[in-house]
Each structure stands twice: as C-alpha cells, then as structure tokens.
Amino acid sequence: MFAPTVIKTPAVITLVVWLWRALAALARTVWRHPVACALVAVSGVGCYLVGWRITVMGWGVAAGAVSSWAALWPAAAVRVLVWPALAWWRLVWVYRWRWRAVMAVSGLGVTLGGRGYAPELVRVRCDRNTDRLTVKMLAGQADQQFAEAQAGLSNGFGAVSCRVFSPRPGWVTLTFPRRDALARVVPARPYPDAPTVTTVDVGIGEDGRPYRLQVHGTHVLIAGATGAGKGSWLWSVIRGLLPARRVGLVRLWGLDPKRMELSFGRALFDRYASTPDECADLLEEAVAVMHERADRYAGVRRSHVPTTQDPFVLVVVDEIAFLTAYQADKGLKARIGAALATLTTQGRAVGIGVMAALQDPRKEVLSIRHLFPDKVALRLDEPGQVDMVLGDGARDRGALADQIPRHPTDKSVGAGVAYVRLENRPDPIRVRAAYVSDDDIRQMVLKYSTAMASEVR
Ligand SMILES: Nc1ncnc2c1ncn2[C@@H]1O[C@H](COP(=O)(O)OP(=O)(O)OP(=O)(O)O)[C@@H](O)[C@H]1O
Ligand SMILES: [Mg+2]
C-alpha cells in the first residue's frame, strides 16, 4: 500500500493562492466583458464621488440620449447596440454556460493527464437570424471533427442546425440559426438599377440579406427533386441579367427540352431550342462562338470582359438529363455530351457560361457534373445525393438539403431553398431564391422582350 505524503500547508500560503486566483478571475472577467465591467465601475466611482442620486440621474440622461439617437437612426442602433447586447447575453447564458459540457459530450474535448481541455469559445456575433461563434480549436484538432459533431452541437445549444466553416487554420466558425429567415416566400427581386453581369441578386441569404450569385466566369449546376423550385433559380438569374441584355452586354440562350419552363418567357431569349436536334445544334453553335473567341483572345488576353461586341453568353438548360441521359438517339447524345463538356471546360474564360438544372444528380445522368464550379442543391430525396451535388463532405458541414421541408398541398413550403457551394468557398451557404411568378415573367417579357430591346437600341 502506498499513500501520498500529507504536507500541512501554512494558512498564509492557502490565502495567497486564493487571492491570486480571485485576481486572475477578475482580470479575466474584465478582459472578457469590458463594457459590462466599465458600467459597474463607472456606477461605483460615481456613487463614491457624487452620491447615488446624481449617478442615477446621470445614467437617466445617458439613457435618454441613447434612446433619442436610436429613434433617429434605428438601423445603426440595432447594429451597434442590439446585436452586440444580444451576442453578449447569448455568450454568457447559452454558449459559455454549456460550453465545456457540450464539448465533452460531443467528443470535442479531451482529458490528458487528468486535466480536461476544450476548444476555446472566443467570440459570439449575432444578426437578425443567426449566431456565429468564433472558436479556437485545440492544437491537433481539425474542422472535420467539428463537422462530424454538428448534430451534437446543434442539439447541445438548442438550435435546429449547425454549420461549420474554417476561415483559417486552427480556427472554426460555427453558425447556429435562431430563426429561419427563409421561411417566407421571397418575391421577385427588383431589376438592378444599372446593368450588371458578374453577379446577380437571386434571393435572400440566411442572414436575411440579398444574396448575389456569380454567373460570369463560372458555370452553375442547380439540382433538386421535382417541385423543389429549380425554376425560381433559373428565372431569378434571367431576371437579374435582363437590363444587361437590353444594353447588349449579355446574350441568353435557352435550352428547354421539357418545354415546360423556359418556353414561358421565350421572347427573353436570344436563341432558343427545345427539340434534341435543335439543342445539339445550339450547343455546337456555342462551342463555335467559344472557339472563335479563343482564337482571337489567344496571346492577347486571358479573361473575358463583357462588351457589346463580345457579350457574356449564358446558356440556360432546364432539365439537362433529357439531353444527356434520357436521349435515345446515341449520335445526338454523343454530340450534346461533347459540346457540353467542351463548354464547361473552356467556356468561362471567353465569356460563355452554362447554367443547368437537373432532378437526378447521379453520375450516370450527368457525367460532367464535376465540371460545374458552383453548385446549388435544392431539396433532394436522399442524404447521399447532397455530396453528389455539392461535393464530398458538404452534408457533414451542414448542407442538409435532404431535410428541406415540403408540404403535401402547399407547394411554396421549402421551395427555392437551397444550399450553395461555391468554388472559392467550401462551406455551404443556405439561400432562398426569389419566386418569379408567371405574372412576373409576363411582365418581364413586356418590358424586356427582344422586340422591345431592339426598339430601345
Ligand atoms: N422560390 C420559391 N418560393 C416559393 N415557391 C416556389 C419557389 N419556387 C417554386 N415554388 C413553387 O413550387 C412549384 C414548383 O416549382 P418549380 O416548377 O420551379 O420546380 P422544379 O424544381 O422546376 O420542378 P420540376 O423538376 O418538376 O420542373 C411552383 O409552381 C411554385 O408554386
Ligand atoms: Mg422545372
């Protein structure tokens, strides 16, 4: 039997240790909550110097001044006061309160040599809809581990979901939605004031702010089950490009093999095809334009700037599977496949983009899906399809496209909601496309159809 030696510590040493710990805790509190500590300190000093009545009056005057400022500039007041105050409240009472327990239970904390270690919660930021936590990972930890624990994290902090993003090595950002900004239908976005080509306002992001999708210099794949709202993505992009099309900076080429979607606004397309033969011809024409531009640009420039001579050509394809998989004529299928592969591999540098929608994201249906740099996953039928569309690990990072809700009768529930994964940003973002109704499309045709456009020119 071995027992550790018991050394009697003199009381003074114990007191010094306690005092030291109390000082360290005080310093830590001041460092973590400078505003709250400053308020307490100013009140204390005020009471000591001028008495509590004058201190209370002083606070009353300050509160009045702040309220008047908030009434005059409410948006600024919400940004400067409300969200930071809410962030502080949630940091203290939700996140820090449960932090160590949640880290331990979700497997992100470790015990080494009898001591417990957990990732450090550095900051909480709030906006209207989400909480964003900045976390310093433990040395040797990977953001993948957080991605794998996202279900436990959302459960632990009482959120419906959690998204994980690593902005730089050693750090991870956890996003917890508080309320769903995307629960309501987003009406068609207003036309841009000035013609824009590079990015288009297509809807609302999870933070409640307009979301701009890049269309120039990329290709976009939009996948979703039937009724998921692929049409709203296609039409929102088309709508945002119409002013640029009117001034000749954009050309819209529509391929509508199902004849149920783009035909409705046919007059908005500079070129349009619906039968497989026409589609193959049109795609080959796009390839020819691409080669002609590549010949001219070779050795002169390396990227495309939209001009009226060389406008950005967006080839919009609804239900691309009709052309690539469900096409019985093998010759046509091969021609279409070759043209699409050529466009998606070489088109973007010369100003030709492909935006394609499809229901079934399997490789057999669209073998070139990896050639689309930017991807949009609307509601999907199975969890396995999420990574097929957005790339490996997307679902682990919170892209729960298979859980986007649907309603047996109300088609608008969850329609248009999607996870977007961009080439230059691996973490998926949740966005709802604006719903461009039939009336909106009619109005777009009236305002921007080819006849009207040539009149303007
Ligand atoms: N962004 C949206 N917001 C609200 N409701 C929408 C939105 N997009 C679509 N809807 C509703 O969902 C219905 C189906 O949408 P849409 O036709 O675009 O689906 P889809 O994905 O193209 O389906 P399919 O593959 O069968 O063509 C629309 O008629 C509309 O009622
Ligand atoms: Mg459709």
Is residue 393 over pLDDT 90? no
Cβ neighbourhood burial of 381 (10 Å; 0-12, 13-18, 19+) = middle
Instruction: Compute, in angstroms, the gap from residue 357 CA to the centroid of ligand 2.
Output: 8
- Say yes or no: 256 and 379 in one domain: yes
Phi, psi (degrees; rounded to nearest 5) at 422: -95, 155
Q: Say what the pLDDT of residue 450 is.
A: 61
265-279 per-position pLDDT tens digit: 999 999 999 999 999
Question: How far is the C-alpha of 255 from the C-alpha of 280, rounded, in Å?
Answer: 9
**Does any domain span residue 8?**
no
Indicate if 228 and 310 belong to the same structural domain.
Answer: yes
Identify whether 186 is part of a domain. no
The verdict on residue 264 lying in a domain is yes
Q: Answer whether 441 contacts ligand 1 (Cβ < 6 A).
A: no
What percentage of the chain exceeds 90 in pLDDT?
Answer: 70
Residue 452 pLDDT exceeds 50: no
Per-residue pLDDT averaged across 230-240, rounded?
96
Q: How far apart are CA 414 and CA 304, in angstroms?
A: 36
d(CA 202, CA 186): 10
The stretch 242-270 carries a mean pLDDT of 92
Please check whether residues 261 and 136 belong to one and the same domain: no
Collapse the DSSP code of 307 into the 3-class scheme (helix H, G, I; strand E, B; otherwise coil) and give the result.
coil
Can you tell me the distance from the alpha carbon of 229 to that of 378, in angstroms, rounded to the nearest whole number? 7
My answer on whether 366 and 236 are in the same domain is yes
Indicate which CATH number applies to the domain containing 95: 3.30.980.40
DSSP element (H, E) containing 438: helix 438-448
Q: What are phi and psi of 8, to 5 degrees?
A: -75, 120
Indicate whether residue 401 lines ligand 1 (CB < 6 A): no
Same domain for 130 and 215, yes or no, is no
Overall number of domains in the chain: 2
Q: Label residues 121-157 b or e (16+ Cβ within 10 Å = b).
A: beebbbbebbbbbebebbeebebebbbbbbebbbebb
For residue 190, tell me if it sits in a domain. Answer: no
Q: What pLDDT was estimated at residue 108? A: 95
pLDDT band at 69 (very low <50, low <70, confident <90, very high): very high
Structure tokens at 363: 């490789």
CA distance 189 to 208: 14
Lowest mean pLDDT of 6-15, 83-92, 100-109, 134-143, name the range: 6-15
- pLDDT, greater one: 407 or 346: 346
Task: Return mean pLDDT, the chain.
Answer: 91
The finding on whether 203 has its CB within 6 A of some atom of ligand 1 is no
Bin 9: left if φ > 0, else alpha if -120 < ψ < 50, else beta: beta
Say if residue 346 is in the same domain as residue 430.
yes
Specify whether 218 is located in the same domain as 160: no
3-class DSSP state for residue 313? strand
Radius of gyration of the chain (CA): 29
Average pLDDT, integer, range 101-123: 93
Q: Is 111 annotated as a binding residue?
A: no
Phi, psi of 383, rounded to the nearest 5 degrees: -60, -35
Separation of alpha carbons 396 and 304, rounded Å: 36
Say which range, 1-15, 18-32, 158-172, 182-196, has the weakest mean pLDDT: 1-15
Alpha helix locations (H) across 91-165?
97-105, 143-148, 150-156
Q: For residues 148 and 285, state if they share a domain.
A: no
308 and 433 part of one domain:
yes
Looking at the domain assignment, is residue 351 inside a domain?
A: yes
Residues 6+ apart with CB under 8 A from 48: none
Nearest ligand to the C-alpha atom of residue 187: 1
If asked whether residues 144 and 288 sit together in one domain, one would say no
Range of the domain at 441: 199-456
Mean pLDDT over 197-202 rounds to 94
Give the pLDDT score at 227: 92
What are the tens digits of pLDDT across the range 8-25?
888 999 999 999 999 999
More confident call, 456 vs 19: 19
Alpha carbon nearest to ligand 1 atom 9, residue: 229
Q: Please check whether residue 402 lies inside any domain of the structure.
A: yes
With a cut of 70, say whether residue 324 has pLDDT above it: yes
Whether ligand 1 lies within 6 angstroms of the CB of 228 is answered as yes
Residues with Cβ within 8 Å of residue 395, at least 6 apart in sequence: 383, 386, 387, 401, 402
Residue 439 sits in the same domain as residue 299: yes
Domain membership of residue 434 (yes or no) is yes
Q: What confidence category does residue 457 fall into, taking pLDDT thresholds of 50, 70 and 90?
A: very low
* CATH of residue 247: 3.40.50.300
pLDDT of amino acid 135: 97
Q: Which atom of ligand 1 is nearest to the CA of 236?
A: 1
Q: How far is the CA of 226 from the centre of ligand 1 (A)?
A: 8
Burial 57-87 (b: 16+ CB within 10 A, else e): eeeeeeeeeeeeebeeeeeeeeeeeeeeebb
